[in-house]
């Protein structure tokens, strides 16, 4: 997998890991170079937008509560980025990020 591309296998593995953990998820949507996945956590839909990694094989995504296009989501100040090389670690980071989003929403 070269620079500037999204590793589809890693994203599919992340999707499978969410399913195995019992989360309801949408089917993967492609938008330009990005991929969108919606995960239901406790009745709240979280949007994951996966972006192409420019300099490595890292998984780069943004978790947000707002449904937006690839470009809008990238520059929207609402949401938190996740960058990792491991699909398993991605799930743990996602769960930590949504805890932060919930806390920010209450403030």
Residue 43 lies in a domain: yes
Residue 1 CB contacts under 8 Å (≥ 6 apart), including other chains: 7, 57
Residue 2 lies in a domain: no
Residue 1 lies in a domain: no
- The kind and range of the H/E element at 60 are strand 59-64
Q: Strand, coil or helix: what is 88?
A: helix
| Residue 1, pLDDT above cutoff 50 | no
Domain count within the chain: 1
pLDDT in tens, 3-56: 445 578 899 999 999 999 999 999 899 998 899 999 999 999 999 999 998 878
Angstrom CA distances, 23 to 2, 87, 97, stand at 31, 15, 16
Domain of residue 73 covers 8-106
Q: Where are the alpha helices (DSSP H) in the chain?
A: 8-20, 70-75, 87-106
pLDDT in tens, 7-22: 788 999 999 999 999 9
Residue 93 lies in a domain: yes
Residue 37 lies in a domain: yes
Residue 3 lies in a domain: no
Q: Taking CA 48 as the corner, what is the angle to CA 8 and CA 101, rounded to the nearest 5 degrees? A: 150
pTM, full prediction = 0.87
């Amino acid at each position: 997998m070269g620079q500037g591309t999204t590793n589809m296998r890693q994203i599919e593995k992340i999707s499978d890991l969410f399913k195995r953990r019992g989360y309801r998820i949408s089917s993967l949507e492609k938008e330009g170079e990005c991929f969108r996945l919606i995960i239901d956590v406790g009745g709240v839909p979280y949007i994951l937008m996966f972006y192409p990694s420019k300099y490595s094989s890292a998984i780069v995504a943004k978790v947000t509560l707002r449904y937006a296009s690839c470009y809008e989501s990238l520059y929207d100040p609402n949401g938190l980025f996740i960058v990792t090389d491991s699909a398993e670690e991605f799930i743990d980071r996602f769960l930590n990020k949504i805890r932060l989003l919930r806390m920010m929403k209450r403030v």
